[in-house]
Amino acid sequence: MLVIGSRGSDLALAQSRWIKKRILAVFPDLEVSIRIIKTSGDKDTTTSIRTGSSVGVFVKELERALLDKEIDLAVHSMKDLPTRIQPGLKIAAIPEREEVHDALVTPGKIGFTALPPNARIGTGSIRRQAQILAIRPDLQVVDIRGNINTRLKKLESGSYDAIILACAGLNRLNLQNRISEIFTLGQMLPAPGQGALAVETRSDDLETLKVADSLNHEPTSIAVKAERVFLQRMEGGCNVPVAVFAIVETDWISIDGLVISPDGGNTIRESVRVRKETADKAAALLADQLLERGGTAILKKL
């Protein structure tokens, strides 16, 4: 019997069911169940996820349930997972990544350039806010909370003229038809780990580690780990104006990193391409370059 711990949102459950299906494809005789664990982020629907106290709000209770042996395996959206893992736990697998891009969602499928001046754009992310304002400083960026369906309802009610969501979440919920426009990576670089899942287990649970290992996708794992090294070097949590995307191509890895002022007025961006075995070192050096070029000053003002 293997128990998967999941948040209770539609997206979290879709992700956990996908993991369960992948496990059963390899271990068809294994009994697998999903247990919903309510997290701080789900209970508190008013505090902005832009605040410093928001780090790990979708993770802490799942990790506690792992340590207490209430569950054997936790499924997280990688971008929610703090860069430092609780002692006794480990990221046992990073499955193949979904789409990494961000999407604009509008009621009438209006494109980004067609949005009128002062249009209200809903996002809870400083990273998205900054990159939007760098392109269109005439827009109003307004905070938003809630899961994907809640945000879509707020959009439909007229509270916002547009919202920004990750393509990965919309894809996993079969809501691709709601996308008005997909931002290019040149327009909007994603959050570290965006589109990827983290499968977390107890570090001494050898049976579950063996099961989790079957889920790991090495190119995704190398790329996402490099992104997390970059984030940790930038001393950032899940909501800082920092973005990075890494992709493995055969023996090479390309890493594109960015730090940007919240008003979009100052963008510092660099990229590197190195042998994949030096991915973590290259990610750390890339972060150092951005910090030296003005990133430190930007982040100190937050």
Which of the residues are catalytic? 80
Count CB atoms within 10 A of the CB of residue 183: 20
List the Cα angle 204/87/5 in 5-degree steps: 70
Give SS3 for 49: coil
Q: Outline where 48-99 has alpha helix (H).
A: 60-67
d(CA 203, CA 88): 6
Burial tier of 18 (Cβ tally within 10 Å: 0-12, 13-18, 19+): middle
Both tokens assigned to 122:
């809903």
Contact indicator for 73, 3 with CB cutoff of 8 Å: yes
**Helices then strands, each counted (H, E), the chain:** 10, 13
From the list 51, 44, 41, 48, the residue with the least C-alpha distance to 12 is: 41
List the Cα angle 259/262/267 in 5-degree steps: 40
* Residue 182 CB contacts under 8 Å (≥ 6 apart), including other chains: 101, 102, 103, 104, 167
DSSP state of 155: H
d(CA 188, CA 207): 40
From the list 230, 246, 197, the residue with the least C-alpha distance to 77 is: 197
Tokens 């790329």 correspond to what residue? 223
From the list 212, 190, 191, 193, the residue with the least C-alpha distance to 201 is: 212
